[in-house]
Amino acid sequence: MGLYNSISALVFSSFCMHALILHYSCSPSFALPGNETDKLALLEVKASITHDPLGVLASWNETNHFCYWRGVSCSRRHKRVTSLDLESSKLAGSITPHVGNLSFLRELYLSNNSFNHQIPPQISRLHRLQDLWLENNSLSGQIPTNLSLCSQLRTIRLGHNLLVGKIPEKLGSLSKLRLISIHENNLTGTVPHSFANLSSLEIVSACCNSLSGSIPDIFGKLTNFRTLALDENRLSGTLPPSIFNKSSVRVISITVSNRKGSGLQGTLPVNLGIALPNLEYFDIDGNQFSGPIPVSLSNASNLYHIGMSLNQLHGKVPSLGNLHRLVRLLLYFNTLGSGARDDLSFLCDLTKATRLQVLKLGRNNFGGMLPQCIANLSSSLIYFSVSENQISGSIPMGIGNLVNLESLWLSENQLSGHIPRNIGSLQKLYLINMGTNSLSGKIPSSFGNISGLTELRLYDNILHGNVPSSLVECPNLIILSLWSNNFSGSVFEVIHISSWFTYFDLSQNQFTGSPPKQVGNLINLWYFDISYNMLFGEIPASFGSCIKIEYLSMEGNLLQGNIPPSWGSLKGIEELYLSHNNLSGTIPEFLERFQFLQSLDLSYNNLEGVVPTKGVFKNASATTLVGNTKLCGGIPEFHLPKCKFQHSHKRRLSLTLKLVISLVCGLLGLIFALCFLYLYCSKKERKEHASSDSEKFLKVSYRSLLKATNGFSSTNLIGMGSFGSVYKGVLDQGETMIAVKVLNLVHHGASKSFAAECEALKNIRHRNLLKVLSACSGVDYSGNDFKALVYEFMANGSLEEWLHPTQKIDETDERPRSLTFCQRLNIAIDIAMALDYLHHHCQTSIVHCDLKPSNVLLDEDMTGHVGDFGLVKFLPQISENDSSHQSSSARVKGTIGYTPPEYGVGHEVWRQGDVYSYGVLLLEMFTGKRPTDNMFQGTSNLRNFVKAAMPKVVEIVDPLLVLETSKGI
């Protein structure tokens, strides 16, 4: 009985113990004994991480067993760490050598973070390690040679770091290695020959390094090899012969770009398509391959991409009729073809490629006519280019069948005849380039049906007549190049087509009339050329509003009068040509202050007076002044006579009289000032009590702003907008940083903008609105009207500068080069809060009307502030859904791409307009693409681009954000 009780007690105790273990093993708060070595190693990993903004390591503490820490996985039996996954966690710091103590580790995933320093060689202790993923960090140093001791490695991902040195030869001993990705580093040396021992190797990705030498002939032994990506290196030699014995190969990508003297050479093997029947992607762009394209290429029936551009290939393009899956054929910049009539016969074979989207054949020697069979090419074709060849004859009418065509390049050939009218039916076209041909007739009026057209280049032909007024139906037209034709009519009618021109060239035609004043509305214009026409009259002052202009040519006309003073605002101009006109007056002094002006031609006019000696006038090779007989002075290289000044007795007497008058006026002024001071002091106390508590604005004058901005120096210029320029300044002896917006009062609407902004800002206060400190309205030292607004200085500039950086950040600037996902989200919330306040919490609802990245400013904490209230509208207190909204103007407000479409058809300003602009801004913030990006042509726009990508949104988000989450090579 005692034995029975003892056995029963033992069984019961065992049962309770197992139940207890089962219960607590399911509880994350229970600290199982575990392996102390693994725990200490993980704590060292945590200690080496200096930045954890997402709190990923918050669970790494004593209240949890380490097997339950975030990112940690353990084996069930021994509770040893087998996987450490901290990918895309925004972690910063270094990888501790103690990670080598996790002896059971099989997977180490640290990609898409900001780890720096070297890869610790202690990783070689991890003999069970299978996957090593460290890509998209800032790791430096060399790839540890002793990684070869990790004999179980299957994948190595080290791409997009700062690694240097050579690829270790010893990696060839990793017999189980299937993938090695080391792209986008600074690696040198050659591809190791030892890779021939990696019988399991399938993928090699080493693009964007500085690898040199030839590609080793190692592929004959690699039975499973399928992808070789060595783009953007300094490789030489030939393609290894053994690669053409591997039927498993699917991808070969060895492109070279902008590296003279580098690239692979030789000819392509005649059996290319037979040896690689499973080939899907073949790209050798930018190398030095010569010889013909192999006829056998058509046997690789799985090919969807062929890239052979920028080589030295010649001969006839073979039939590609079997490539039914072909999507892209890139053969431009070779010497293919011989100018023969049948050079383009292969295009008829491509009619069977029903997925064809891109066909680039420019810069070759193709002759003959465009075959009629292009009408039967795939309806999926979006890009067609045969520019810079020897193609003759007329443009086939069947080209109108390519209903999805977006970009059409036929320039620099020998095409003749009329432009087919049915091109106007290609609704998705955004670019047409037919320049430098012998096309005749008129521009078809049907071009006005292409509503998405943004670029029209018909230069250097023999076209004539007026530019069709129907082009006004192309509201997105920003580039118009019609130079060297026989067009006639009024320039005003052409200017009227679009207010969004950035590039406008009508030179060498027969246009008449005076230069249109409306050119001042082209605020985005950077290139303007109306030279060698028959224009007359004076140059309009409104040209001074085109502050973005860089190239301006009006030479070879009949223009007269002075160079307008308003041109002093064209501070970004680089080239200015006004020769061969009848201009008079003196050379404006502001031209010598233009820092970017590199070429100036004022020759053969009637200019007179002193020639400046600073700026561009210091360089005689950059400035041309011949043919102006009344000019004098300048640098000796101009060979102009010295200027003569009269110093008569009468002049000296006049100077003495002026001096006496000045002294008398000064004494009277002093007496007046003393009287004023007395009155001021007697009333000072009353004035101080009369000041309201709400009067918190700084008192500023033109003089104080001039001093604060160092004379409105260009070095202090931080931005230029539609109605003025913004300068950085310092008030109160360096204690108050300010931003000063100086209105360009020459610009139509600038004064109205100043009044609107003052009215909007005087009664609104919100943490996400740009704070106004003061306003100044008066005259400058020249007697001209002066208006300026003084804002709180925003240390981190505008959202535009962060989304689309245009220049290298100064070395002393510690700001990151891009915005993180969380920063973008916070800024988006800040903007939404500002709009909510303006729309719903002001005494009178306010509509901003110009919401865009350049009008969102960021302070030191990266908090968003909405600014620029020059276009605001005050709405009456009526229902939001009432369609009868009224505003003070029915004119379209805002910036192209952000302005809601209903404004374009006369709808009054309403709050939903701001909501539309905010939606566009959100899409731009998270895709990194402007709504005016060149890719959005025809009916394509940013909204449709995002909509089409759903739900695979990762394919269209900003690549900088993808780096935070991506695992792929």
CATH number for the domain harbouring residue 74: 3.80.10.10
pLDDT of residue 814: 43
pLDDT band (50, 70, 90) for residue 7: very low
pLDDT of residue 6: 42
Query: Could you give the count of Cα atoms lying within 13 Å of 541 in the half-sphere of its Cβ?
Result: 8
Q: Is residue 88 pLDDT above 50, yes or no? A: yes
| Same domain, yes or no: 717 and 638 | no
What CA–CA distances, in Å, run from 275 to 246, 247, 249?
A: 7, 6, 9
pLDDT band (50, 70, 90) for residue 880: very low
pLDDT of residue 730: 85
Closest CA to 788 of 731, 716, 727, 871: 727
Residue type, 642: K
pTM of the model: 0.62
Q: Is residue 275 pLDDT above 70, yes or no? A: yes
Residue 907: inside a domain, yes or no? Answer: yes
Highest averaged pLDDT of the listed ranges 76-90, 245-259, 648-662: 76-90
CA distance 784 to 751: 13
pLDDT of residue 669: 59
Q: Which of 217, 244, 271 is the last residue of a domain?
A: 244
Q: Are strands 431-433 and 227-229 parallel, antiparallel or unpaired?
A: unpaired
Residue 393: inside a domain, yes or no? Answer: no
Q: Which residues contact 535 (CB under 8 A, 6 or more apart)?
A: 491, 511, 512, 513, 514, 515, 554, 557, 558, 559
Residue 573: inside a domain, yes or no? Answer: yes
| Same domain, yes or no: 941 and 820 | yes
What CA–CA distances, in Å, run from 836 to 554, 816, 824, 840, 847?
A: 48, 30, 18, 6, 10
pLDDT of residue 767: 87
Residue type, 809: I
Q: Is residue 34 pLDDT above 70, yes or no? A: no
- Better-predicted residue by pLDDT, 425 or 671: 425
The lowest-confidence range among 7-21, 592-606, 841-855, 882-896 is: 7-21
What are 808-838's pLDDT values in tens digits?
A: 444 444 444 678 888 888 999 999 999 998 8
Residue 358: inside a domain, yes or no? Answer: no
pLDDT band (50, 70, 90) for residue 28: very low
pLDDT of residue 885: 42
Place of tokens 């029936």: 301
Cβ neighbourhood burial of 917 (10 Å; 0-12, 13-18, 19+):
buried
CATH number for the domain harbouring residue 779: 3.30.200.20
Range of the domain at 866: 799-969
Q: Is residue 899 pLDDT above 70, yes or no? A: yes
Average pLDDT value for residue range 3-10: 39
Residue 236: inside a domain, yes or no? Answer: yes
- Better-predicted residue by pLDDT, 532 or 875: 532
Q: Which residues contact 796 (CB under 8 A, 6 or more apart)?
A: 802, 815, 857, 858, 859, 860, 862
CA distance 316 to 339: 10
Q: Helix count (H) and strand count (E) of the chain?
A: 14, 54
Strand partners, 237: none
> What does pLDDT average to over the chain?
84
Collapsing DSSP to helix, strand or coil, 58 comes out as helix
φ and ψ of 348, to 5 deg = -70, -30
CA distance 235 to 256: 8
C-beta separation of 740 from 788 below 8 A: yes
pLDDT of residue 680: 52
Residue 367: inside a domain, yes or no? Answer: no
C-beta separation of 360 from 334 below 8 A: no
Cβ neighbourhood burial of 375 (10 Å; 0-12, 13-18, 19+):
middle
What are 379-397's pLDDT values in tens digits?
A: 999 999 999 999 999 999 9
pLDDT of residue 627: 94
| Same domain, yes or no: 127 and 26 | yes
| Same domain, yes or no: 35 and 97 | yes
| Same domain, yes or no: 130 and 200 | yes
pLDDT band (50, 70, 90) for residue 929: confident
DSSP state of 423: G
Q: What percent of the chain lies above the pLDDT cut of 90?
A: 51
Residue type, 661: I
Give me the helix-helix angle, 821-840 and 911-927, nearest 10°: 180
Q: Which of 244, 266, 298 is the last residue of a domain?
A: 244
Q: Which residues contact 354 (CB under 8 A, 6 or more apart)?
A: 324, 378, 380
Q: Burial code of 313-343, b = ≥16 C-beta within 10 A, e = fewer?
A: bbebbbebebbbbbbbbbbbbbebbbeeeeb
How many residues appear in the chain?
969
pLDDT band (50, 70, 90) for residue 142: very high
What are 469-503's pLDDT values in tens digits?
A: 899 888 889 999 999 999 999 988 888 888 888 99
Closest CA to 580 of 598, 540, 543, 553: 553
pLDDT of residue 879: 42
Average pLDDT value for residue range 73-94: 93
Q: Which of 601, 617, 646 is the last residue of a domain?
A: 646
From the CB of residue 812, how many other CB atoms can be counted at a distance below 10 Å?
5
| Same domain, yes or no: 639 and 602 | yes
pLDDT band (50, 70, 90) for residue 964: low
What CA–CA distances, in Å, run from 744 to 390, 421, 519, 541, 544?
A: 51, 44, 16, 12, 9
pLDDT of residue 401: 94
DSSP state of 712: T
| Same domain, yes or no: 809 and 740 | no
What are 740-778's pLDDT values in tens digits?
A: 888 877 666 677 777 777 766 766 888 888 888 888 887
| Active-site amino acid positions | 850
| Same domain, yes or no: 136 and 158 | yes
What are 332-353's pLDDT values in tens digits?
A: 999 999 999 999 999 999 999 9
Q: Is residue 606 pLDDT above 70, yes or no? A: yes
Collapsing DSSP to helix, strand or coil, 221 comes out as helix
CA distance 504 to 485: 14
Residue 375: inside a domain, yes or no? Answer: no
Q: Is residue 961 pLDDT above 90, yes or no? A: no
Average pLDDT value for residue range 222-250: 86
CA distance 304 to 323: 8
| Same domain, yes or no: 783 and 803 | no
What are 554-588's pLDDT values in tens digits?
A: 999 999 999 999 999 998 999 999 999 999 999 99
CA distance 762 to 694: 10
Q: Is residue 626 pLDDT above 90, yes or no? A: yes
| Same domain, yes or no: 779 and 851 | no
What CA–CA distances, in Å, run from 388 to 361, 365, 434?
A: 9, 8, 11
pLDDT band (50, 70, 90) for residue 259: low
- Better-predicted residue by pLDDT, 676 or 599: 599
Domain count, the chain: 4
pLDDT of residue 70: 94
- Better-predicted residue by pLDDT, 815 or 67: 67
Q: Is residue 734 pLDDT above 90, yes or no? A: no
Structure tokens at 865: 């502030």
pLDDT of residue 849: 87
CA distance 909 to 466: 36
Q: Burial code of 159-198, b = ≥16 C-beta within 10 A, e = fewer?
A: bbbebeeebbeebbebeebebbbbbbbebbebbbebbbbb
Collapsing DSSP to helix, strand or coil, 313 comes out as strand
pLDDT of residue 406: 94
Structure tokens at 531: 């030279």
pLDDT band (50, 70, 90) for residue 405: very high
Average pLDDT value for residue range 624-645: 91
Q: Is residue 69 pLDDT above 50, yes or no? A: yes
CATH number for the domain harbouring residue 948: 1.10.510.10
Closest CA to 282 of 308, 320, 256, 262: 308
C-beta separation of 465 from 442 below 8 A: yes
Structure tokens at 94: 């270094």
Average pLDDT value for residue range 447-457: 93
Residue 679: inside a domain, yes or no? Answer: no
Give me the helix-helix angle, 911-927 and 942-949, nearest 10°: 60
φ and ψ of 736, to 5 deg = -120, 110
Q: Is residue 378 pLDDT above 80, yes or no? A: yes
pLDDT of residue 124: 94
| Same domain, yes or no: 816 and 940 | yes
What CA–CA distances, in Å, run from 84 to 41, 191, 969?
A: 12, 30, 19
Closest CA to 323 of 361, 356, 290: 356
Q: Is residue 965 pLDDT above 60, yes or no? A: no
| Same domain, yes or no: 204 and 94 | yes
pLDDT of residue 697: 52
Q: Burial code of 123-145, b = ≥16 C-beta within 10 A, e = fewer?
A: bbbbeebbbbbbbbbebebebbe
